[in-house]
Chain A
């Protein structure tokens, strides 16, 4: 179901896998989220964030150039209010804690459960609005 233009949320994804980005596009269909950027590595994620200023970022961890955890820190250095959800299959205790400590709003494990991912995205946006 489409929501009014004013309530739509701009989201970007950083993942080096075309497959994951394709699946992510499918998940966003018929939701309140608009995909405003797809990038393939952490460096591009930081640059694209600065240009587009999306409401939400979905960030993979293992990526070429700059990994997702470092990209997360760089984005938060630029914009401390940035909302970034880490999305990775690498859900080790160290990675999860490290990401949250650095300021990630959530950590979603791959393979995506679409309902879990969308709920995490909505929660991050609600907390931000409040």
Chain B
């Protein structure tokens, strides 16, 4: 599971990608990375926590807004206004306080004495240059493959959209390859087969932590461990993703249907089928989206 361990380090520490970059280059240690990430998490509090600390909202009112957020795509502040829990003056003040508290990961490293200001600027410039190059190369690669597989770009786009809509998290493409020997499924894998004018299989593999996060968001309550309802919700999430992919394809004149979703703890890629493997990550968890072509 070497790949999983690496991916967890890459995205699981709050410092997101810049932290991993510095770690890989030996600029900071793992202890410094963890300490800075924890500090940043405490400083960059969410609006609800700040509102409670300032006495503008009660915990029950914040919970009410969060419950409403699960029903809609609206932002915390907009809902607080709609529910008459905050005035616009109070919301402006909250946003100002949040902004004033907000600190970037690199700034924390300097503040804690882990990096000098000069070294931070130099590393940041290098990181941004490499990120641009990586992203361009990734997009080029994906576009090349997408010529062969019309569903590829749609799949990634819909996955990102559904994470935003249902999980309230951004998911980013981190890598793309077609090497099945590098495929190591995470804890849970959901899959659906397409039939009709597009035939192939969509696979979404993720660690338990991400699955629990998705289900918590979809059902509005935390789940400490994987149970039948978690598996059902994960299947439904994959079902919604693939249904929306079919809808996109339909707009391009490609009519496809779906088989019911399946979720399992193990899943092996068929060695005889071409695989398009997209490594993605939220702020805290890695995952993989795979499209298996029908051979």
Contact = CB atoms under 8 A, between A and B. Distances in A.
A92 B219 contact: no
Given A17-B233, A19-B232, A90-B243, 15 more contacts: A17-B236, A18-B228, A18-B233, A19-B218, A22-B229, A23-B218, A23-B219, A62-B239, A62-B243, A62-B259, A63-B260, A88-B243, A89-B239, A89-B246, A109-B244
Interface in B144-180: 162, 165-166
B236 A20 contact: yes
B240 A94 contact: no
Nearest to A90: B243
Interface residues of A, number: 25
Interface stretch (B98-106, B135-143, B249-257): B249-257
A19 B239 CA distance: 12
Interface residues of B, number: 32
A117 to B, nearest CB: 11
Interface in B68-86: 71-72
A35 B286 CA distance: 39
A62 B247 contact: no
A50 interface: no
A110 B229 contact: no
Interface string A56-88: 000000111000000000000000000000001
Contact of A26 (B220, B241, B250): B220
B47 interface: no
B73 to A, nearest CB: 8
Contacts, number: 76
A113 B233 CA distance: 17
- Residue among A22, A26, A27 with max Cβ neighbours from chain B (10 Å): A22
A111 B165 contact: yes
A22 B219 contact: yes
A88 B246 CA distance: 11
A113 B72 CA distance: 7
B260 A92 contact: no
Interface string B54-72: 0000000000000000011
A104 to B, nearest CB: 16
B180 to A, nearest CB: 28
B250 A92 contact: yes
Given A90-B257, A111-B162, A17 B239 contact: yes
